[in-house]
Structure 1
Amino acid sequence: MKRRTFILGGLGLLGAAAAGGTGYLHSPRFGRPFRPERLARMQASPHYINGRFECLTPVRGLEGDEQSLLTGWLKYFLEDKTERVPDAPLPSKKTDLWAQHQDEDFVVWMGHSSFYLQIAGRRVLIDPVFSSYASPVFFANRAFPGSNVYTAADIPEIDILIMSHDHWDHLDYPTILSLKDKIRDVVCPLGVGEYFEAWGFAPEQLHEEDWDTDIEVYPDFHVHVLPSQHFSGRLLKQNATQWASFAIVTPQRKVYYSGDGGYGAHFRTIGEQFGGFDLALLENGQYDRQWHRIHMLPDETAQAATDLRARYVLPAHNSKFALARHTWQAPMQDLATASKGAAWHLLTPEIGEKIPLWAPDGFPEWWNRTE
């Protein structure tokens, strides 16, 4: 048993046992076995090796010996988490998405890695998580007070749902079910479509593709499925499905979403391939030196932004769930420092704030508020 499987699997089993044992493990939220046709497509991918997906350059998810890593996880669950969770509700705004003109290009960060994007007359929703926790059990990974601003009722009809991978803090079963009747098309990497079919989506709604695939979802509206340096899995089995980053390309604009992942040469390759981006939505949070190969440190996020030739950067994967041992403010503080003197501009809106894509304004350092 691999070190990562041993640690994460043990924690997962403890949680599942507390939530109701083996019956709970058969809940639809865990997915189902792959249909033969889907599995054949997955196995045909050059990134599917020995029964699992791999990064472009295989990496160890966790660095260190088994004893030190297990000790680290135990400390994470047992030690004081006071500074990892804000002591007051986070400031937020709630943009009325139903009232927005559909021809206006803008983005709304919904906390963690959830985004609502209007671009070229299309409504795009990215990795929506509206539940109060991101875990197989209700008592783990609780959302920060003030960070859960939106519900499914606040979301208008969605042209494209982009799903980066199957981790609980990105693929949220209750959220997807509550949005199902509003979603027209789904773009996801290989294997992830099995969840959507199991949850009642029609196969013709799914654009499920391997890395380096250009999907023209609508005329002149392209979503490119691209590599990332991460992993997948909702309990014990790791890397059964693929993970991805994405480029959304229209005649007027280019937007990049990193999904989760560590820093690698793929950022420079993608930047060169697309000639830069108007906006990059980049992971910046829930990091640790022991797993920075699969979650970027803030200085690596800054370098990725430079490699991508981004004009504006909107950080994600922070300020909603405490999945790492850093303070809740650290991702924003450290990236703000790393952005000084950069060729790109850092955008730091409050959760729920509307940001026009053509001329975003400056933002206050809301994470440093003391009142």
Structure 2
Amino acid sequence: MFHILRWVVAAIALLGVFGYWFVNQPQMDPLMTPERKARIEASPHYVNGEFVPETPHEKVNPSLGFWKEFFFPTPGKTIPSDPMISVKTNLRQLPRDKDVLVWMGHSSYYMQLNGHRILIDPISAEYALPVPFVDKAFEGSNIYTPDDIPDDIDVMVLSHDHWDHLDYDFVRAIEPKVKHVVTGLGNGGYYEKWGYPLEKISEEDWNTPVKIDDGLTVWVLPARHFSGRMLKRNQTLYAGFAFITPGRKVFYSGDGGYDGRFARIGDQFGGFDLAILEDGQYNKDWHSVHMMPEETAQAAVDLHAKTVVPCHNGKYPLSTHQWKDPYIRLVKAAHEKDLTLLTPMIGETLRIGDQNQYFGRWWELMN
């Protein structure tokens, strides 16, 4: 009996040591300096010790079916049976004077606007969580790595700090290539902690413009979501973005449920040439933090978007819907609302401003 007790105590101690090491890894929490904390606490959106969305969330209560699919995704249902179809565009060889967008999977994009090179939520992690073997990227979806990124990125934006948007290894690897980071309040603590000079980082509250130069302004805009990497939630600000140049306007939603912000943003900026909108990982049990496809279509209408590109799909199984349902449902909803929906596969080049460009329904070729 004494030997059994000793083994139990040893196991508990070992788990405690592992747990302490795990939660204290550098990718877990941002560096929270007094100056950064003071800016956070001064925000009108920081209430009772946490950031809150403009429209309150509804209660989230995942079902047992969700947890089953979350840990054991079903091929042909929540994950494809076939490898993802892709075409790998060489980002370094894209003419810099062309306004283009290249989907790198999930919510990651490489974009060029008015001669500027832009990265949106870049990630190439094999798993969407820090725990191995949970939320593995679809086979064939991880075709871009830090080595593929051009050497002079004018600005990189981060919508929020969830693991499927903020990739520790990717972000650290490309630091020498990035001139400027724009993100919500608090998130700069990750970049500072991971070796980015403070002068590269702009972390701002909602409705704040960040002027990169005379040819590009990035607006930090509201989102209806939540944040946190591990134990602490809503200590960093989740956001969407507007990229404004003299000739183009592009909107990126980040993650978040539907509300009236899209109509306000659409009116504020007089519409957009392109809206990159969340469409995936939704569920009726948490629709206030992720839009349903029909809400994505309505958000595009509210934004007065000339063209729409869906994101937050095609890479990680974070919900229980069939992996291709975000496309099937959004195609139908876009048709009903007379939207111009563009659906490039991973790696295809989209010409921003070209409403006549056509992309095939590549998901119909896969199981």
**Which of 265, 273, 276 is equivalent to 2:268?**
273
Aligned counterpart, 2:120: 126
Distance 2:17 2:315 in 1: 23
Structure 2, unpaired ranges of 5+ = 1-14
Change in Cα spacing, 1:334 to 1:44, as seen in structure 2 (3 Å) is: same
**Which of 121, 129, 148 is equivalent to 1:154?**
148
Equivalent residues in 2 for 1:74-85 (5 A)?
Answer: 74-77=67-70, 81-82=74-75, 83-85=77-79
Letter in 2 for 1:47: H
- Secondary structure of the residue that 2:273 maps to in structure 1? strand
Once superposed, what is the RMSD of the aligned Cα atoms? 1.7
Distance 2:17 2:142 in 1: 23
The yes-or-no answer on 1:140 pairing with 2:138 is: no
Aligned counterpart, 2:6: none
Once the two structures are TM-superposed, the CA of residue 60 in structure 1 deviates from its matched residue by 2.8
Distance 1:78 1:119 in 2: 39
Distance 1:279 1:119 in 2: 12
Once the two structures are TM-superposed, the CA of residue 359 in structure 1 deviates from its matched residue by 1.7
The yes-or-no answer on 1:295 pairing with 2:290 is: yes
TM (normalized to structure 1)? 0.91
Letter in 2 for 1:188: T
**Which of 71, 75, 97 is equivalent to 2:64?**
71
Structure 1 segments (4+ residues) deviating >6 Å: none
Once the two structures are TM-superposed, the CA of residue 155 in structure 1 deviates from its matched residue by 0.5
Distance 1:61 1:232 in 2: 16
Aligned counterpart, 1:222: 217
Aligned residues: 350
- Whether the 8 Å contact between 2:274 and 2:353 is mirrored in structure 1 is no
Distance 1:148 1:27 in 2: 24
Distance 2:46 2:197 in 1: 25
Once the two structures are TM-superposed, the CA of residue 274 in structure 1 deviates from its matched residue by 0.4
Deviations 1:29-65 (A, max 9, x none): 1124510000000100000001100001221351x4x
Letter in 2 for 1:330: D
Greater shift in the superposed pair: 223-232 or 340-349: 340-349
Once the two structures are TM-superposed, the CA of residue 370 in structure 1 deviates from its matched residue by 4.7
- Secondary structure of the residue that 2:250 maps to in structure 1? strand
Letter in 2 for 1:315: P
The yes-or-no answer on 1:96 pairing with 2:94 is: no
TM (normalized to structure 2)? 0.92
**Which of 97, 108, 119 is equivalent to 2:102?**
108
- Secondary structure of the residue that 1:311 maps to in structure 2? coil
Letter in 2 for 1:247: A
**Which of 350, 360, 369 is equivalent to 2:365?**
369
- Whether the 8 Å contact between 2:31 and 2:193 is mirrored in structure 1 is no
- Whether the 8 Å contact between 1:19 and 1:137 is mirrored in structure 2 is no
Give identity over the alignment, percent: 47
Deviations 1:200-259 (A, max 9, x none): 111110111000001111113110000010000111221011100000000100000000
Deviations 1:256-293 (A, max 9, x none): 00000000000000000000000000000000000000
Letter in 2 for 1:276: G
Aligned counterpart, 1:173: 168
- Whether the 8 Å contact between 2:71 and 2:135 is mirrored in structure 1 is no
**Which of 313, 317, 329 is equivalent to 1:318?**
313
Distance 1:335 1:42 in 2: 36
Once the two structures are TM-superposed, the CA of residue 20 in structure 1 deviates from its matched residue by 4.0
Aligned counterpart, 2:11: none
Aligned counterpart, 1:14: none
Greater shift in the superposed pair: 334-343 or 106-115: 334-343
Based on CA coordinates, which of the two structures has the bigger radius of gyration?
A: 2
- Secondary structure of the residue that 2:125 maps to in structure 1? coil
Distance 1:128 1:20 in 2: 29
Aligned counterpart, 2:35: 37
Structure 1, unpaired ranges of 5+ = 1-16
